[in-house]
Structure 1
Amino acid sequence: MLSVVPLLWPAIPPLTDLPGHIGRYRILSEAGQGPLAAHFGVRWAVIGNLGVDLIVLALHPLLDVEPAAKLAVMAIPALGVAGLLWLAREVHGRIPPSAAFALPLVYGWSFQLGFVNFCLAQSLVFLGLAAWLYLARTRASWVRIAAFAAFAPIVWLCHSFGWAMLGLFTGMLEWRRRVEAGERAVPALLRAGAAVAPMASPVLLMLHGHADALAGDTGDWFYWAAKLRWTVSLFRERWALWDVAALLVISLLLFAAIRSPRLRISGLLGWPALAGLAAFIALPRLFQGGAYVDMRMLAPSVALAILSIAPRTGEDVLAARMAGLATLFFVARIGVTTLAFVQVSQAQAETLRAVPALPVGAAVLTLVNEAPALLWGNDRLTHIAGIAIARRRIFTNQQWALAGQQLVHPRHPRAAPFDRDPSHIVYPPGLVAGATDFDTAIRTFDRCSFALVWTIGFPPGRAQAADLSVAWSDGASAIYRVRESRCLSRSPSVR
């Protein structure tokens, strides 16, 4: 219950990508209807990136997309914490005093970035690992294998990388369980592989009739600077000193567990944690169009490593002190996360004051002044235009349109390249190769596709063009109207 507190006050959970997802939920919930049908098409398919989307669509008859999304997102840390506590209890026989040190990782950087489908899958992975051990202890092997043959496609449907993580962690856990039961390492590995093999059934969904599910760029192998940044950003939220201090606390805990004779490390979780860290090192940043693939492995692997730690028998005083410090750590992190989310949500609400000035169904070129990645705390406005899609049914260049990863595609071919993510993101000059240049975008965007320009984080008047005039501004963002003389017709080009 405490893990949900930071999400109670904000009307929209202040996660970087979530406003864009909420825009997509509106498009999906009104597919083929109203003004959005002229702007976005929907190609319905079974893909491994639909977790929160399906929950919101299921709730939509009762709730609008914004409150439905909030409820779904609130469930993610609650499920994650429940899974971690249950897993720790299955491994140690009781919840170890170190456990609360791991719980803030449900708010790790993947969650802060708004990777909600992946984070939902991650929470299900923690629950799945606990269920695997419970069934191994209480049921016949065939029951466990059959249950996970059905469970794995659910995780894949939430997010395909979460499914891959489930297979890796479960396979290593089962191998170690068999070794501790007295089996030799190699035969145990083969039997563990056979036990998790039925969980591979989603591969058939990925290959059969949906070739573009495997499309997209793969690259940035062994990008050490990025991996170092992901490591330092393990608890990244808003204030660097506070977040790096949390990383230092966890680092000292792990170091003590390795060196101290008073602590022990359970191999049931230690080996899966090592496998996850090895995957973090080996995986590229980009995989089949998905970004930050390696980074997503870090927080769950560290969480498993923390849960593997427990005081040895007879160390009651140490256990009590560790439990107190872990509880203090968790409560402090949740308290500061709550404050950070209040601040970010207020900044987002100020930016959203522009939304009522956008005509319903309009086509709007959005340009966002993106802060450098090294700037620790920002107001997470990258995808804020997604809320305008949800509330005003506009077309904007904010939506993702990755082959095999999104159901939505834009219906304004003349607007290209300003018809999809990341064309709306404007980085400081020279920071990101090939990124959108503000002045070039203002000079070259298709006037027949867009009736308005919405600049976020740029001063009013920054867009210099003879056919643009400021229609609304509040000092931090501005809406420009495009004169009709540059285009004979504003009817969208639909395909």
Structure 2
Amino acid sequence: MIQAAAPPSRPGAARPWWEGRPFVAAMVLLAFVPFIYPQIPPIVDIGGHMGRYKVAADVAHSQMLQQWFTFHWLPIGNLGVDLLVVPLSKLLGIELATKLVVMSIPPLTVAGMLWVAREVHNRLPPTVAFALPLAFGHPFMFGFVNFSLSMALAMLAFGLWLRLGRLGKSRLRALLFVPISFVVFFAHTFGWGTLGLMCFSAEAVRQHDRGWSWWMAIIRAAYHASVMALPVLLILVWRSEATGGLTHRWFDWEYKWEYLLRMFRDRWETYDIVSAGIVLAVPLFALVHPRLTLSRNLAFSGLVLAASYVLLPRIVFGSAYADMRLVPFAAAIFILAIRFKKETRYPLATWLAIAAVGFMLVRLAGTTVSMAIAGKRQAEQLKALDYVLMGSRVAVLVWDKCEQWPLRRSDHLGAIATVRREAYTNDHWPMAGATLMTVRYPAAGWFQRDPSQIVRDPGCRHEGWSVHAALNNLPRDAFDYLWLIDMRPIPRTWVEGWRPVWAGEGSILLEREPLSGGGEAPPPATRPAASVPAQSATVPAQR
């Protein structure tokens, strides 16, 4: 059964530990922990983002970058982390600025979730911590940082919307949410749209609770939420100037089911799937338990997000995983909706709080260990860049192991060469209407941009270049270095014309040899002889 929100705790009664400020502070601060150790946040797409930040920050005064990249700021709905990192990088550099901004996204998301729960229930329910690990859900771990920042801001804004509605300050709310809607929109369009859905659905319940029929409540809710509609004008201009970017893959049920199981996808399949199962089971447990229920306010918001997930296609304007991004937040809203039907039963509440915090700590510990493992490997792989000359052209190939469960952090690792060496790499992703950076290097042919760096073996779920075909078609004269990352053993004959200059854990760097007809490769960087792999019949898999 779904009911209205419970009254606040009894006046004068001591708050249970999960409702106090120390608990809130601890939950927010713990969300910083997983990214303290890694030098670069080891999430899938972050290298490509950092390459773009480097171009945005330095292309105006770097002749090296100007050979291949241009960047023009425009008012589009995909700027969140860019607008923070680029100016901050003037003081701290691209890498530290990116780390500080990205590691702040989960704590902001956690704070937003806690605020929403507090406003709806007039207290923090004991189950609230079950939702908090979703701040590290699949979309964030995949590296959708602009989207993730926009959702963190949307959760915080939703908490403010609920608070001002509860206090009866609708006029003030309308004034504030005009600029707030633009802030969330510029972070990422998806967060703005989700904020609108959450605010509309919550307002419809509030209007119904004030005595309006459901039809009138929906009309009045749409009227109140319309203060956030002005960014639509920017979307019309933005999309009218964009070309390409198809919207398709509607009702792809196989993927929609997989995304439910993948909401925590990171490194360990059983651990991640069991965690997803727990998150999905908790709201169902509340519905069948005689003392628990769901707040109508948040349950309706959760149903609206769930319906949006079903209706969204997999690819929107050329951007993949559009529907997947909603999963952790819809699940979180249902968990945040859990409350007691009548008075809080503190023995049961205490056990629920202990279970929720235990789940949160177990997930946080796993994420921290996973990030440490990935960060260490990433740091070893990036030692290859010590042997790359400034302004070089680097062809990057990353072996796809047919989509095994562990996320590949190496898909866009090559773009760090742009950050550290102002190099050209083939893994940047200019996309019509979605990014402000353009890549122009016709000599690279197919290897001009993402996804040319991803190579697969026959039989993989997604078709693409095989390792052999990619190496055969690589325009040798267009690149100075060939960087093989997470590559399986391959015959050395596949890389004729390239000499190895460095090999380490998960990474091997080869340099173009001088042409027999008299052409010359660029002068080699200084390197210790011990770093060069021994000659053999195959290029070895990295350790």
Same structural fold, with TM-score higher than 0.5 when normalized by the shorter chain: yes
Structure 2 residue corresponding to 1:137, chosen from 166, 172, 194 = 166
Q: CA deviation at 1:272?
A: 0.7
Q: What amino acid sits opposite 2:383 in the alignment?
A: R
Q: Which residue of the partner structure matches residue 510 of structure 2?
A: 480
Structure 1 residue corresponding to 2:342, chosen from 285, 310, 313 = 313
Q: Which residue of the partner structure matches residue 294 of structure 1?
A: 323
Q: CA deviation at 1:434?
A: 4.7
Give the 3 Å change call, closer, same or farther, for CA 149–488 of structure 1 in structure 2.
Answer: farther
| Percent identity of equivalent pairs | 36
**2:458 maps to 1:429:** yes
Look up the SS of the partner of 2:339 in the other structure.
Answer: strand
Q: CA deviation at 1:398?
A: 0.6
Q: CA deviation at 1:110?
A: 0.5
After superposition, the CA RMSD in angstroms is 2.0
Q: Quick one: distance in 1 between partners of 2:160 and 2:317?
A: 30
Q: CA deviation at 1:477?
A: 2.7
Q: Aligned ranges for residues 141-156 of structure 1 at < 5 Å?
A: 141-156=170-185
Look up the SS of the partner of 1:464 in the other structure.
Answer: helix
* Structure 1 contact 47–213 (Cα < 8 Å) conserved: no
CA deviation digits over 1:226-260, x for unaligned, max 9? 11111111122211222222222223322211112
Q: CA deviation at 1:487?
A: 10
* Structure 2 contact 57–87 (Cα < 8 Å) conserved: no
* Structure 1 contact 235–244 (Cα < 8 Å) conserved: yes
Look up the SS of the partner of 1:125 in the other structure.
Answer: helix
Q: CA deviation at 1:371?
A: 2.7
409-418 or 70-79: bigger deviation: 409-418
Q: CA deviation at 1:209?
A: 6.2
Structure 2 residue corresponding to 1:48, chosen from 65, 73, 77 = 77
Q: CA deviation at 1:357?
A: 1.1
CA deviation digits over 1:11-49, x for unaligned, max 9? 111111112211111111102222111121113212111
Q: CA deviation at 1:460?
A: 7.0
Structure 2 residue corresponding to 1:192, chosen from 221, 225, 249 = 221
Q: Aligned ranges for residues 232-271 of structure 1 at < 5 Å?
A: 232-271=261-300
Q: Which residue of the partner structure matches residue 339 of structure 1?
A: 369
Give the 3 Å change call, closer, same or farther, for CA 56–154 of structure 1 in structure 2.
Answer: same
Look up the SS of the partner of 2:67 in the other structure.
Answer: helix
40-49 or 94-103: bigger deviation: 40-49
Q: CA deviation at 1:433?
A: 5.0
CA deviation digits over 1:411-459, x for unaligned, max 9? 2022121111111111232325552232222222223422221111224
CA deviation digits over 1:248-292, x for unaligned, max 9? 222332221111221021011001101111111111110101110
Q: Which residue of the partner structure matches residue 364 of structure 1?
A: 394
Q: Which residue of the partner structure matches residue 50 of structure 2?
A: 22
Q: What amino acid sits opposite 2:149 in the alignment?
A: L
Aligned length: 490
Look up the SS of the partner of 1:198 in the other structure.
Answer: helix
Q: Which residue of the partner structure matches residue 498 of structure 2?
A: 468
145-154 or 479-488: bigger deviation: 479-488
Q: CA deviation at 1:407?
A: 1.1
**2:151 maps to 1:122:** yes
CA deviation digits over 1:203-225, x for unaligned, max 9? 21122266244740211111111
Look up the SS of the partner of 1:426 in the other structure.
Answer: strand
Give the 3 Å change call, closer, same or farther, for CA 418–147 of structure 1 in structure 2.
Answer: same
TM-score, normalised relative to structure 2? 0.86
* Structure 1 contact 86–130 (Cα < 8 Å) conserved: yes
Q: 5+ unaligned residues in a row in structure 1: which ranges?
A: none
Q: Larger Cα Rg: Structure 1 or Structure 2?
A: 2
395-404 or 161-170: bigger deviation: 161-170
Q: What amino acid sits opposite 2:300 in the alignment?
A: W
Give the 3 Å change call, closer, same or farther, for CA 310–31 of structure 1 in structure 2.
Answer: same
Q: Which residue of the partner structure matches residue 420 of structure 1?
A: 449
CA deviation digits over 1:187-212, x for unaligned, max 9? 11111111112212112112226624
Q: Which residue of the partner structure matches residue 6 of structure 1?
A: 34
* Structure 2 contact 455–470 (Cα < 8 Å) conserved: no
Q: Quick one: distance in 2 between partners of 1:15 and 1:354?
A: 19
Q: Quick one: distance in 2 between partners of 1:159 and 1:181?
A: 33
**2:385 maps to 1:355:** yes
Q: Quick one: distance in 1 between partners of 2:208 and 2:243?
A: 36
**2:428 maps to 1:399:** yes
Q: CA deviation at 1:139?
A: 4.9
